[in-house]
Amino acid sequence: MKPFTYIVPKSLDEAKEAAAQPNTLVKGAGLDIVDRMKERLQTPQNIVNLLPLKADLAGISVEANGDVRIGALTTLTEIENHEAMRDPVFTALVKAASTTGTPQVRNRGTIAGNILQFTRCWYVRSEAFHCLHGGRGPTCLAMTGQNRYHAVMGWSDCVRVHPSNVAPPLLALDAEYSTVIGKETRRRKFSELFPAEPRAENPEHTLQEGEIVTAIHIKKQAANVRTAYAESREKESFDWATTACSVRIAMDGNKIAAADIVLGAVAPVPMPRPKAAAMLIGKEPSKRLFLRVADMAFQGAAPLAHNAFKLPIGKAVVRDALEQATR
C-alpha cells in the first residue's frame, strides 16, 4: 500500500468536507479498498474513515409509516440477525447477505460496501493486465480471454459482472438510497445507482466524487409480498455467485398479482428483467410457467467463449427463486 492520510471525521459534515478533497476515498470497513490498495490499483492520498459515524450511519430501524431504513454502515451479519429482517419481505435480502463471503467478511463488510465494491474481474484487479475498464489498456481482455465468470448479457465494451449479492434483492424491492454531497442530501431509486448502459469507462456505480451513501430505504410492502434469492456457485460456501436471481412476488389468491425479477452476476450491473416478470402477472404459479419465464429472463443473452454454462444454470436459479417465493 502507498502511504495515505487517514481522516477521522467527528460528524457527517466533517466527512462530507473531507470527502470533497481531491484523490480521496471514503471507506466503511474498507475490505475491498484495502485489497485494491495492496494491489496498487488504488493509491488515494486521503482515506476518510466513516466507522466513527456508526451511531448515525449504521443500524436498522422501522419508521412510523412502516418503511425500513438500513444505515449504510450496517454489517451483513447485522442484517442476517436483525429482528426487523424476519419479515418475509426481507427473505431475499437476508439470504443474499448471509451467503456473502465468509463470516469474517460479513462481520465487518457493510451493506453499502457490498453494493459499491469494485468488480471481481481478474484482469482489472491485477496491475499486470492492461485492461480497458482499469484505464490501463485499449481493450477488454476478458472478452477474448478467460471469461468463465464474466457477463452473458448487458455488456458492450467490457464484460465484467457486478459482484454484489444484496443489490438484486434491493432492486427487486424497489429500494431507495440516500446520499450526501456538499450541502445536498439526495434520495433516489436504487436503479439510478448503476449506469444505464455500463461501458468500460463507467465506474460500477453512478456516485459522484465525494458523494457518500448514508442509508437504504425500503418502502413498506403489501402484506402479500414475498421475496426470494437464489444463486449458483461452484462451492457451497465462501464463493462468488456465478448467477443469482432475486424475485418479489405478490399473490392475489392463487394468482400472481405483481412480480419483479432481478438477475445478479450475469452483467456489469444488476439486471431487472421486466419482460420476464410481466409474464407472471395474472397467472397461477406452475413449473411450466416458470420454465417459460426463466427462458425469457435470459432472452437475448450473449455468452462468451467460456461462460455459456451460465444460461442453463441461471435459468434454473430463476425457477428456484420463483418457486421459493410462491411456495
Partner 1 sequence: MSHPPDHGVSRRSFLKGSAVVGIASTGITAATKAAAGPPVPESFGPGEHEITLLVNGKNKLVKVETRTTLLDALRDRMDLTGAKKICDRGACGGCTVLVDGSPTNSCLMLAMDAVGTELRTVEGLSNGDDAHPLLENFVKCDALQCGFCTPGMVMSSIACLEKRGKPSPDEMRQDLSGNLCRCGTYGRVMEAIGRTANGGNK
Applying CB under 8 A, which residues contact partner 1? 1-10, 13-15, 17-18, 21, 29-31, 34-35, 37-38, 46-49, 51, 77, 101-105, 107-108, 237-238
- Residue 191, classified by CB atoms within 10 Å of its CB into exposed (0-12), middle (13-18) or buried (19+), is middle
Residue 101 Ramachandran class (φ > 0 left, ψ -120 to 50 alpha, else beta): left
Measured CA to CA, the distance from residue 32 to residue 316 in angstroms comes to: 30
Burial 47-65 (b: 16+ CB within 10 A, else e): bbbbbebeebbbebeeeee
Whether residue 209 contacts residue 299, with contact meaning beta carbons closer than 8 Å, is answered with no
Whether residue 140 contacts residue 132, with contact meaning beta carbons closer than 8 Å, is answered with yes
Min dist. Cβ of residue 102 to partner 1 (A): 3
Min dist. Cβ of residue 3 to partner 1 (A): 3
85 vs 297, which CB is nearer to partner 1?
85
53 vs 261, which CB is nearer to partner 1?
53
31 vs 218, which CB is nearer to partner 1?
31
102 vs 299, which CB is nearer to partner 1?
102
Min dist. Cβ of residue 214 to partner 1 (A): 17
Which residue, chain included where needed, has cell 430505504?
Answer: 217
Min dist. Cβ of residue 238 to partner 1 (A): 5
Min dist. Cβ of residue 68 to partner 1 (A): 24
Instruction: Dig out the grid coordinates for 106 from the structure.
Output: 460479513
Measured CA to CA, the distance from residue 30 to residue 48 in angstroms comes to: 10
61 vs 102, which CB is nearer to partner 1?
102
Measured CA to CA, the distance from residue 180 to residue 24 in angstroms comes to: 16
107 vs 286, which CB is nearer to partner 1?
107
Measured CA to CA, the distance from residue 313 to residue 327 in angstroms comes to: 21
Q: Counting every residue, how long is the chain?
A: 327
Min dist. Cβ of residue 229 to partner 1 (A): 17
Whether residue 214 contacts residue 202, with contact meaning beta carbons closer than 8 Å, is answered with no
104 vs 185, which CB is nearer to partner 1?
104
User: In the 8-state DSSP scheme, what is residue 41?
Assistant: S
Min dist. Cβ of residue 117 to partner 1 (A): 12
